[in-house]
Amino acid sequence: MKKYLPKDIFTEFLQCRNRGEELTLKIANAMASAMKNWALSLGVTHFTHWFQPMTGITAEKRESFLYPDGKGGAIMEFSGKELIKGESDASAFPSGGLRATFEARGYTAWIPTSNAFIKDKVLCIPTAFCSYNGEALDKKTPLLRSCEAINKECLKFLSLLGDKRNMVKVSIGAEQEYFLLDKKLCDKRKDLLYLNRTVFGAPPPKGQQVGEHYFGPLNQRVLDFAQEVEKSLWELGILSKINHNEVAPSQHELAPYFSDADIALDNNQITMEIMKKVANSQGLCCIFEEKPFAYVNGSGKHVNWSLRTDKGENLLECGNTPKENTRFLLTITAVISAVHKHQDLLRLSVCGWGNDKRLGSHEAPTSVISVYLGEELTGILDAIAEGREESKRAGCKIQLGVKGLPPLPVDSSDRNRTSPFAFTGNKFEFRMPGSASSIAGPILILNAIIAEEFRLLAIELEEKGKDTQSIKEIIARRVREHRAIIFNGNNYADEWNTEAKKRGLLFLESSTQCIPYYSSDKNVKLFERHGVLSKKEIIARQEILEEQYFTSLKTEGAVMLEIVKRDILPAVEGYLSLLFSNLKQSQKANAKSEIYLGKIEEIEKLYQKISSLSKSLGQLLEKQQKREEVKEVIDLMKNLRLSCDKLEEIMPRKLWPFPTYGDLLF
């Protein structure tokens, strides 16, 4: 920008951007001209308003800079009007009833706080997407509203503590887990082609039990992929920081540097697109689905969330002065209160057919929301709540017992890989989101519920006072009321389920249970109070979530039936024919034939069971899906899979119709 904009325009634009102010047409026209000149200098001839509809992925409509000059030639044009506003079909995207086919008009609006970028020789301009009537039809607009809400409420909270700040921003780091497989093998499996996850597959002789894959050296194909991805990302200004092997075989993770919430959202969407593209060019298949393989880890997208002021302070970092510590503890209690009050919304933010399969097993957090704080911070809060002194272990160090190695300082908290929402020193890590999902939903809800708690904290500070004793009483009361959400143990333990029920925590194991909470009176009031979502927008999103869930369920069932009917059963018939042929030959030779008879009987039983289950599943899928029928469908699909996986284990390898888990993962 500095290179292509006049100095005064550059300065004015940055001031507007940092303060969240509206841009004048003068600045917009100058920005449009600068963007066009920058793009043309790099051989670009087209632009697009790049947006994020409620499909969960991105959308774009390429437009040319070329305009006819009326003399048989063409000129390059791009105005501030074209930069600020575009138009797109709003009826073809998910809208939850906000738009009908005959109401197709939708608008895209430039977001100045998000960076424009060049991808595939196209100038991409990040935009919001709304209907003709102004309702948000995308995932980014409500996210931006939630960032404004938390900024507003947090600034008021800070001002009451005597901290005058101009801006509070949400910082996000999204860790992206994924599987990387050989494309030729993936292309031989219809489930991976249609769904990006497997619906059948017996466990291989070796899974992730030994765990040697975790943090192991990258093999050459993965290394080549990682290097090309990093190069492509850095060229777009997306700074990837970490890339390593994950626990499951063929599973990996990429983590970026922290950035503002809206930038982090853009960057994560671009990152997934780049990873898919690079993988395809190298004969690989990059899979983001939450549970592509049974028996091994699923893939999450851990959202690390923190708050940063315009003075560079992290509000989730314990300070060196009593004032800073007071601010830190109040912020922590705001988060704890928000999570406890709004367990339904946090669970709702990660709902989906694929993520339901992942949650609660193989290092994925459970569906019961709790907060991990670590023993030291929990002890401090408990001491305040109970009015006693807490002995701290500040400065404690771990002695390694090896000469030449220095002692390591102890962090204020350990790590808990089973916790859904864990404090990790200066941020909270929300571990529940699935790898394939947009991070917009989880961030939006975190922002909204914590903005509400800052609002309530400000009211308490105004009513009860801002002196040390009053603040201590506010912290103590909040800890006593919301300590039920704090749990530092093993979330997988049966004892925790029993304890969580005693504490009155919500058990929402499936998406069908949590989606209806979206439009509850409590949640509608919350979103409307902070201007994040209107009731109409909430109901639309609830309908979209339900439709996406049932569509995913029915599609997976249909894919299972096709594979069974056109691949598995014909393969079994071929094997049975071979067995009968061998049986006849052995009988002619007066040889023992019990081995063939036993195997034929075992396979025929499985064949009949699979045929029966397939017929029942097909009949149920043909009906209009109802909420009460979901469990029956899921149970049928589960039993069908178990029977087919049993067949895979007893049939000859060369006769099985598609690559096995062992082939794919190893």
- pLDDT tens, 166-177? 999 999 999 999
* Range in 202-211, 271-280, 307-316, 425-434 the model is least confident about: 202-211
- Across 388-440, the runs of DSSP E, i.e. the strands, are 397-398, 408-409, 421-423, 428-430
Pairwise CA distance, residues 389 & 380, whole Å: 8
> Would you state the structure tokens that stand for residue 133, as one six-digit string?
């009537």
What pLDDT score was predicted for residue 398? 40
What pLDDT score was predicted for residue 355? 95
- Check whether 407 has a pLDDT greater than 80: no
- Check whether 400 has a pLDDT greater than 50: no
**Buried/exposed 54-72: b ≥16 CB within 10 Å, e otherwise:** bebebbbeeeebeeeeeee
The average confidence (pLDDT) of the chain is: 89
* Range in 197-206, 366-375, 450-459, 593-602 the model is least confident about: 593-602
Residue reference for tokens 């529940």 = 432
Express as a percent the part of the chain with pLDDT over 90: 64
346-373 mean pLDDT? 91
pTM recorded for the entire structure: 0.91
Asked if 218 contacts 136 with a C-beta cutoff of 8 angstroms, the reply is: no
- Across 183-317, the runs of DSSP E, i.e. the strands, are 240-245, 251-256, 259-260, 284-287, 301-309
> Would you state the structure tokens that stand for residue 531, as one six-digit string?
């201007």
- DSSP letter for each residue of 176-200: EEEEEEEHHHHTT-HHHHHHSS-S-
Asked if 176 contacts 255 with a C-beta cutoff of 8 angstroms, the reply is: yes
- Check whether 496 has a pLDDT greater than 80: yes
Asked if 445 contacts 345 with a C-beta cutoff of 8 angstroms, the reply is: yes
Pairwise CA distance, residues 248 & 30, whole Å: 51
What pLDDT score was predicted for residue 617? 95
Give the contacts of 485 (CB within 8 A, at least 6 positions apart): 336, 339, 340, 343, 369, 370, 371, 503, 505
- Check whether 405 has a pLDDT greater than 50: no
What pLDDT score was predicted for residue 628? 66
* Range in 128-142, 175-189, 607-621 the model is least confident about: 128-142
What pLDDT score was predicted for residue 390? 61
User: What are the angstrom distances between the C-alpha of 139 and each of 19, 107, 128, 347?
Assistant: 22, 14, 8, 18
What pLDDT score was predicted for residue 585? 83
* Range in 323-327, 383-387, 470-474 the model is least confident about: 323-327
Q: What pLDDT band is residue 321 in, cutting at 50, 70 and 90?
A: confident
Cα angle 662, 177, 209; round to 5: 40
- Check whether 520 has a pLDDT greater than 50: yes
- pLDDT tens, 252-311? 999 999 999 999 999 999 999 999 999 999 999 999 999 999 999 999 999 999 999 999
- pLDDT tens, 606-629? 999 999 999 999 999 887 556 667
Asked if 372 contacts 419 with a C-beta cutoff of 8 angstroms, the reply is: yes
User: What are the angstrom distances between the C-alpha of 386 and each of 149, 173, 373, 467?
Assistant: 33, 35, 18, 19
Asked if 306 contacts 315 with a C-beta cutoff of 8 angstroms, the reply is: yes
At residue 88, φ and ψ (nearest 5 deg) are: -140, 160
- pLDDT tens, 66-100? 766 666 665 566 766 777 777 776 667 777 777 56
565-576 mean pLDDT? 96
At 620, the amino acid letter reads L
- Check whether 461 has a pLDDT greater than 90: yes
Please, how many CA atoms are within 13 Å of residue 415, restricted to the half-sphere of its CB?
4
Cα angle 600, 604, 609; round to 5: 155
313-338 mean pLDDT? 90
What pLDDT score was predicted for residue 69? 60
